[in-house]
């Protein structure tokens, strides 16, 4: 039975727009799926390879700007950004990898944190290229309704899910986990750790970038403060995976579901809307203390907690 | 030509003074890094909290920011100890896949602190208008026929002097007192320190407290010359981190030198390239340090390989 769960869920998701749900629900669903792609991408690098990144906004933003700049400067459809950003992001990942992957653990995390900020500052200051804080606006949207956007992002999500599952099941996946568990041991066994970390970074970067390019097409407007945002993109990415479950396949999706809905609920509540980051922060702290492997990873713990405890006879 | 030299020297002085304050931020971070092997991503936000305390002391009670050091620093010390005791220590015991949970925890703390500041104090920019803010010493006042004109701002110099005194005091504490020696022992080898009878848990708590106190000092010294807003923490966390990398991973002497280099470099970027590029300059120097002088990284790897 468990084998069929993914297919069932997929069919359910595929027929969902046909039922006729509201445009707002559709929007939230699209965001959930987009975030689960970003979460899955982060999970390859952070969860499986053990390299925690606080700078995924850099990849997201570069993807979005690739699409936006193609539209703005060359006048072609922003959808071309998706194939284009694969090339751009591999290049970016190689450069980032060359610099940052010399670092370990917390230093890598911080280097990526700085990277995200640098991208934001660069995008703000290179006005001739990126329009600076003015942002890039797509004047004509491809589709008026949200249904097609939904199918596009769903297709990308399914594609990335299968791709990631294949990669993790392959030789590479074992190398990634070996690097996470003990880098020195992995190296002594003949794994070229820097090379495989760079591969993980490329996969992660490209998938995040594709999500970014989709964001550009879907939202129709980007500016550096939105797509390179530290708290709204980079840290939310980490939270999606932490809440859902590090190094699990279903975790990012679960995390995206929880986080996006939570964000929508909190932001629309008038009194506490401004404090949404406080709530996220407290949630993050609680998750780390009580469910360090996320909702999916620590599912047994949750079940055990809610099961009525047997009283001693 | 004289104008060029004047500009250069003035930039150098400004950078030097800024570097002294940066060193204080870097010191706290390096100390925490050395003892606990984690980067405290809430470092800048602790500074923000200290700055708000100093700000309110000034606005409501009229306490001079330099005097408020004596109130704010003990408070932040206790706050840091409490954070370590009730949040970070419990997480150290939790089993998880990712080894960097404590770092992510500090991100959570940073989010809460900066957001609460926005909620309570709004996002407005604030500053403490001290009446000596624009006082300065001029070179021509002392040397009538000087070919160039240089000035030394009074609050900046005062802040630099305080930072210097605190740094010396910290050095004295770390090298001459028993507690300081225990902290250094914990940083060098935690197991050996435990075997020698050092209460390492207590040392961790103290270190986090001292780190917070140092950054609180920096906050109090910064507020007469800088402005204050809730999201300021991130910027200073970045600065602290770049200094730690520049200075060589958790070394206190390195943090001082790193702070100086960064201060001068940033001041140069601001003068010759443009204000908006300063964060990029920071990253450039960080990358340069990693690519050309990977001494810090090498020592980290060596410590990881042979330390345990």
- Four-residue CA torsion sign, A216, A221, A222, A227: negative
Q: Which residues of B touch A114 (CB under 8 A)?
A: 238, 241-242, 282-283, 286
**CB contact, 8 Å: B305 with chain A?**
yes
Q: Which residues of B touch A184 (CB under 8 A)?
A: 304-305
**What confidence score (pLDDT) does residue A269 get?**
80
Q: Is the pLDDT of residue A179 over 80?
A: yes
Cβ pair A277:B114 closer than 8 A: yes
**What confidence score (pLDDT) does residue B297 get?**
38
CB B114 within 8 A of CB B230: yes
Distance CA B269, CA B18 (A): 13
Cβ pair B234:A230 closer than 8 A: yes
Q: Nearest by CB to B94, from A105, A278, A289: name it.
A: A289
CB B235 within 8 A of CB B110: no
Domain assignment present for B272: yes
**CB contact, 8 Å: B288 with chain A?**
no
CB pairs under 8 A between A and B: 138
pLDDT digits (tens, 9 = 90+) for B269-304: 888 877 767 777 777 777 777 666 655 533 544 455
Q: Which residues of A touch B279 (CB under 8 A)?
A: 117-118, 121
H helical segments located in B189-251: 190-195, 200-222, 232-247
Among A116-120, A132-136, B212-216, which range has the highest average pLDDT? B212-216
- Expressed as residue numbers, the domain containing B10 is 2-125+154-306
Which own/partner contact pairs does B146-155 have at CB distance under 8 Å and 24+ positions apart?
B147/B2, B148/B2, B148/B5, B148/B6, B148/B9, B149/B6, B150/B6, B150/B9, B150/B10, B150/B13, B151/B10, B152/B13, B153/B17, B153/B225, B155/B130, B155/B224, B155/B225
Domain assignment present for B130: no
What ipTM goes with this model? 0.79
Number of domains in chain B: 1
Mean pLDDT computed over A164-187: 90
**What confidence score (pLDDT) does residue B298 get?**
37
pLDDT digits (tens, 9 = 90+) for A257-299: 998 988 888 888 877 777 888 888 888 888 888 888 888 877 7
Closest listed residue to residue A285, CA positions, set B43, B88, B302, B275? B88
Q: Nearest by CB to B241, from A99, A110, A124: name it.
A: A110
Any idea how long chain A is?
A: 313
Domain assignment present for B146: no
Strand partners for B152: B137
pLDDT along chain B (308 residues), means of 10: 80 86 87 81 90 89 85 91 87 73 85 87 80 74 72 82 87 88 84 85 89 90 84 84 76 79 85 74 75 53 50
**What confidence score (pLDDT) does residue B30 get?**
85
Instruction: Write the CATH number for B78.
Output: 1.10.3470
Q: Is the pLDDT of residue A91 over 90?
A: yes
pLDDT digits (tens, 9 = 90+) for A16-39: 777 777 888 888 999 999 999 999
CB B41 within 8 A of CB A117: no
Q: Which residues of B touch A122 (CB under 8 A)?
A: 280
**What confidence score (pLDDT) does residue A164 get?**
92
Beta strands in chain A (DSSP E): 136-137, 221-222
Mean pLDDT computed over A41-48: 90
Cα separations (Å) of A138 from A76, A224, A258, B221, B247? 11, 15, 30, 47, 46
Q: Nearest by CB to A118, from B112, B280, B304: name it.
A: B280
**CB contact, 8 Å: B16 with chain A?**
no
The residue whose two tokens read 């410590």 is B303
Distance CA B168, CA B155 (A): 20
């Amino acid at each position: 039975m468990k084998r069929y769960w993914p297919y069932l869920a997929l069919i359910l998701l595929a027929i969902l727009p046909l039922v006729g749900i509201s445009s707002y629900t559709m929007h939230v669903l699209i965001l959930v799926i987009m975030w689960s792609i970003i979460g899955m991408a982060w999970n390859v690098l952070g969860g499986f390879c053990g390299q925690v990144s606080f700078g995924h906004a850099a990849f997201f933003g570069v993807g979005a700007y690739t699409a936006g700049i193609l539209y703005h400067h060359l006048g072609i459809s922003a959808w071309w950004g998706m194939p284009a950003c694969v090339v751009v992001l591999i290049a970016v990942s190689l450069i980032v990898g060359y610099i940052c992957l010399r670092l370990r653990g917390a230093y890598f995390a911080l280097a990526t944190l700085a990277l995200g900020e640098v991208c934001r500052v660069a995008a703000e200051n290179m006005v001739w290229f990126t329009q600076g804080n003015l942002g890039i606006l797509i004047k004509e949207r491809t589709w008026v309704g949200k249904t097609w956007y939904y199918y596009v992002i769903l297709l990308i999500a399914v594609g990335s899910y299968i791709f990631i599952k294949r990669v993790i099941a392959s030789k590479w996946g074992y190398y990634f986990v070996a690097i996470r568990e003990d880098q020195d041991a992995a190296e002594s066994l003949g794994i070229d750790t820097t090379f495989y970390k760079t591969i993980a970074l490329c996969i992660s970067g490209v998938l995040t970038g594709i999500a970014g390019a989709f964001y550009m097409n879907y939202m129709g407007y980007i500016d550096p403060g939105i797509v390179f945002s530290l708290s709204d993109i980079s840290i939310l990415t980490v939270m999606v995976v932490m809440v859902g479950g590090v190094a699990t396949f279903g975790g990012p999706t679960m995390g995206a579901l929880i986080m996006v809905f939570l964000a929508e609920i909190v932001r629309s509540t008038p009194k506490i809307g401004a404090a949404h980051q406080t709530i996220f922060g407290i949630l993050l702290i609680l998750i780390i203390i009580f469910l360090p492997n996320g909702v999916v990873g620590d599912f047994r713990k949750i079940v055990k907690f809610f099961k009525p405890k047997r009283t001693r006879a | 030509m004289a104008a060029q030299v004047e500009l250069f020297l003035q930039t150098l002085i400004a950078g030097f003074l800024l570097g002294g304050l940066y060193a204080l931020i870097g010191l706290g971070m390096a100390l925490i890094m050395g003892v606990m092997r984690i980067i405290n991503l809430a470092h800048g936000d602790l500074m923000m909290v200290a700055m708000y305390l100093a700000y309110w002391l000034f606005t409501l009670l009229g306490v001079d920011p330099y005097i408020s050091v004596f109130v704010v620093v003990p408070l932040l010390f206790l706050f840091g100890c409490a954070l370590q005791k009730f949040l970070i220590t419990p997480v150290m015991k939790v089993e998880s896949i990712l080894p960097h949970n404590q770092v992510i925890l500090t991100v959570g703390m940073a989010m809460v602190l900066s957001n609460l500041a926005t909620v309570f104090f709004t996002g407005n920019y604030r500053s403490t208008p001290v009446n000596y803010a624009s006082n300065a010493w001029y070179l021509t006042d002392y040397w009538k026929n000087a070919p160039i004109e240089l000035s030394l701002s009074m609050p900046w110099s005062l802040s630099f002097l305080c930072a210097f005194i605190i740094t010396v005091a910290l050095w004295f504490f770390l090298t001459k007192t028993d507690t300081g020696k225990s902290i250094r022992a914990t940083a060098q080898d935690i197991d050996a320190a435990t075997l020698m009878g050092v209460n390492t848990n207590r040392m961790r708590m103290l270190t986090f407290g001292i780190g917070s106190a140092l950054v609180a000092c920096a906050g109090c010294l910064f507020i007469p010359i800088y402005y204050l807003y809730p999201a300021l923490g991130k910027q200073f966390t970045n600065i602290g981190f770049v200094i730690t990398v520049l200075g060589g991973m958790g070394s206190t002497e390195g943090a001082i030198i790193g702070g100086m280099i960064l201060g001068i470099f940033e001041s140069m970027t601001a003068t010759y390239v443009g204000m908006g590029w300063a964060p990029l300059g920071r990253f450039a120097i960080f990358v340069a340090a990693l690519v050309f002088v990977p001494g810090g990284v090498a020592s980290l790897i060596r410590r990881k390989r042979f330390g345990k």
